[in-house]
Structure 1
Amino acid sequence: MLKALCLSVWLGLSLVSGAQAASVVFLNPGNADETFWVSYSRFMQGAAQNLGMSLRVEYSGRDRQRVLHQARQALQGPQRPDYLVLVNEQYVAPEIIRLSRGSGVRLFLVNNGLTVDQARQVHEYPDRYPPVLGTLTGNDEEAGYRMLKTLVEQLPPAALEQGVDLLAFSGLKHTPAAQLREQGMHRALAELPGVHLRQLVYGEWSRQRAYEQAQLLGARYPRTQLVWSANDEMAFGAMQAFEEAGRVPGRDVMFSAVNSSPQALQARIEGRLSVLMGGHFSLGGWAMVLLHDDAQGVPIGQLLARPRPVPVLQLIDAVKARRWLTLEQQGDYGLDFKGFSAVGKAPGYRYPFLKDAMDY
């Protein structure tokens, strides 16, 4: 198990303009067999290979001490990368930023940026916390909002007049992305007086935990018609519990989820998932484009002076799900990452992934 969690993937050491390729270490917070985080790394690897960069991926298995150990190894060891990419899961970012002081390694955050309090702390003590090169996060609040609104749009008008029971499954309490998705859901609830949130629980992104929680909640709230989930694994765990109770997904109970795993895409095609949001696996790939350009002298720091949400999360209907299932067989989704680079482009070039949702 430890070997699996420590899995490191090295991509070829190609040369860029006669110099050694820019090297990157990605501290992946997930497990080496976790569909979302594995696909996330595959997309980054596709970008790295296309751009002629070196990438190493370290999986921490959501173990806070392990990721801090991996960060120390990368930042203080004999073979330091040019860039360290990290996720602020379980609020680890400030400590890793502190560890980077004097290392010569540039830091880049993806998916979960600093919280407001963390950003204030880092800003107030620049002698302790060196500056971060940039942050890319997804449109998580908007995704949480759109998931619930789209679920409700599929109900017959009479259902809202009678009142609809909703259950919600969020991720980890100390994960900004989960918090933002929750906020979006609550924003939608404020606009939907006919929808009643009976309970929100933290499934910790786990199918098994959500299954056990849903067994209890389904019995406690037998009139549940909507299930909102912050990822696909929890949606499938809850779905299993409702199916065992004789409820049919997509007919008796409607489920929503975030992620574009093959299983989630297939469930969307079959109608077992009524609403699916996906695309945030691409953030690491877009970060690789920016790091490539930084290594080539493009001033991306000015562009990323403020953390920005990238509109990568989008609704996936059945047609798009079929298309993504085909593209998912290619680690880079068939994209030419060099084409997204600003190197060689005219002044004023804008990265398309920073201004528009990618519609593969």
Structure 2
Amino acid sequence: MLKALCQSLCLSLPLVAGAQAASVVFLNPGYSNETFWVSYSRFMQAAADDLGMQLSIRYSERRPELALTQAVEVLEGQQRPDYLVLVNEQYIAPEIIRLSRGSGVKLFLVNNGLTPNQAELIDNNPDKYPPLLGTLVGNDEQAGYQMLKMLIALRAQPGLTRPLELLAFSGLKNTPASQLREQGMRRALAEHPEVRLRQVVYGGWGRQRAYEQATQLLQRYPKIELVWSANDEMALGAMQAFEEVGRVPGKDVLFSAVNSSQAALQARIDGRLSVLMGGHFSLGGWAMVLLHDDALKLPSELDGRREFQVPVLQLIDPLRARRWLNLQEQADYGLDFNRYSAQGHPADYRYPFLKAPVDY
């Protein structure tokens, strides 16, 4: 009983004065002015500030070779962090994992986990690849599926005899999150033979590229009624092309998207986006909670488990869109990240964000 009481008291006490705060470097794969990845970093920083952690963020500007250079600087530098958080964007994670061997830095993957082939390679070569501390990814396949199901439900009418024509904008072929969202879209498509997929194009997550692609595709497929997009920038770019030929988003053509940028949230409020999903910008922040607790050696769900899929992507209706627009003006998104930590909780504590999306 005395031991249990001591453990309870220790968990409820803050870090003692002079204790070294856990240090984290995040290799952000996006552009330093890219709305989604900047919001991702902001959420991580809010978590770090609340939890008393040191966070450094480096943007690779969507250049995998720069990300590898940054990883070498972090892993071989004089002042190495306790943790390196990275994204398996364009399949760069295995090489960074290899480079981390012997560095003393723990690696944590967010947003894009290892592919099955990569995981097998790493598991079969433990002498070359040290184990990851953990992986935290979103429900991308389910989101891709749910978006198309909702688009079809909004457009389908009793007695409809004509096929519904669909155009899809995927992100990058060599990014797991993009692949999973597309897989979800195709799973939904298989359930609806009344929908005709005209083409899937890869917009590289960019608005301008999607606009140019949509401009060409509209000449080829003028009867498109549904546009599925793996992110908001591509949806907005395609939307511009449709508007330029007199098509009205939300009326004679329906758009879906992922992300919660101000432009996307406003488009959802205005009805120009008919289906919007978001919330995966929070994955990095939840990873910071896990790393904070790992540094304190607190009992947690990390024990014996390394891979987590979190249902962060959730439907954003106009009411939620208005609320999220207001929250984005707050530096901490209206959250106290300390309340999500295992610190101060009993040993059987379970992280709520791993089980259900946090409603902001």
- TM-score normalised by the chain length of structure 1: 0.94
The alignment partner of 2:36 has SS state of helix
Partners in 2 of 1:146 and 1:226 — Cα distance?
14
Map 1:14-93 to 2 at 5 A: 17-93=17-93
Partners in 2 of 1:208 and 1:119 — Cα distance?
34
Per-residue Cα deviation, 1:105-125 (whole angstroms, up to 9, x for no partner): 000000000000000000000
Partners in 2 of 1:123 and 1:331 — Cα distance?
40
- Structure 2 CA distance for partners of 1:160 and 1:354, relative to 1, 3 Å: farther
CA RMSD of aligned residues (A): 1.4
- Structure 2 CA distance for partners of 1:271 and 1:70, relative to 1, 3 Å: same
Residue in 2 that maps onto 1:199: 199
Residue in 2 that maps onto 1:347: 347
Residue in 1 that maps onto 2:173: 173
Residue in 2 that maps onto 1:94: 94
Partners in 2 of 1:212 and 1:156 — Cα distance?
28
Partners in 2 of 1:218 and 1:351 — Cα distance?
46
Q: Is the 8 A contact 2:300 2:350 kept in 1?
A: no
Q: Aligned AA for 1:358? A: V
Q: Aligned AA for 2:253? A: V
Residue in 1 that maps onto 2:221: 221
Ranges in structure 2 where 5+ consecutive residues have no aligned partner: 1-14
Partners in 2 of 1:160 and 1:285 — Cα distance?
45
Partners in 2 of 1:306 and 1:24 — Cα distance?
18
Q: Aligned AA for 1:209? A: R
Larger CA deviation: 44-53 vs 150-159: 150-159
Q: Is the 8 A contact 1:264 1:273 kept in 2?
A: yes
- Structure 2 CA distance for partners of 1:183 and 1:59, relative to 1, 3 Å: same
Residue in 2 that maps onto 1:270: 270
**Residue 286 (structure 2) pairs with residue 279 (structure 1):** no
Q: Is the 8 A contact 1:327 1:334 kept in 2?
A: yes
The alignment partner of 1:56 has SS state of strand
Q: Give the Å deviation of 1:193.
A: 1.1
Per-residue Cα deviation, 1:235-262 (whole angstroms, up to 9, x for no partner): 0110001111111110111000000011
Partners in 2 of 1:210 and 1:159 — Cα distance?
33
Q: Aligned AA for 1:228? A: W
Q: Is the 8 A contact 2:301 2:350 kept in 1?
A: no
Q: Is the 8 A contact 1:133 1:304 kept in 2?
A: no
- TM-score normalised by the chain length of structure 2: 0.94
Map 1:230-241 to 2 at 5 A: 230-241=230-241
Q: Give the Å deviation of 1:348.
A: 1.1
Equivalenced residues, count: 347
**Residue 163 (structure 2) pairs with residue 163 (structure 1):** yes
- Structure 2 CA distance for partners of 1:20 and 1:89, relative to 1, 3 Å: same
Ranges in structure 1 where 5+ consecutive residues have no aligned partner: 1-14
Q: Is the 8 A contact 1:135 1:304 kept in 2?
A: no
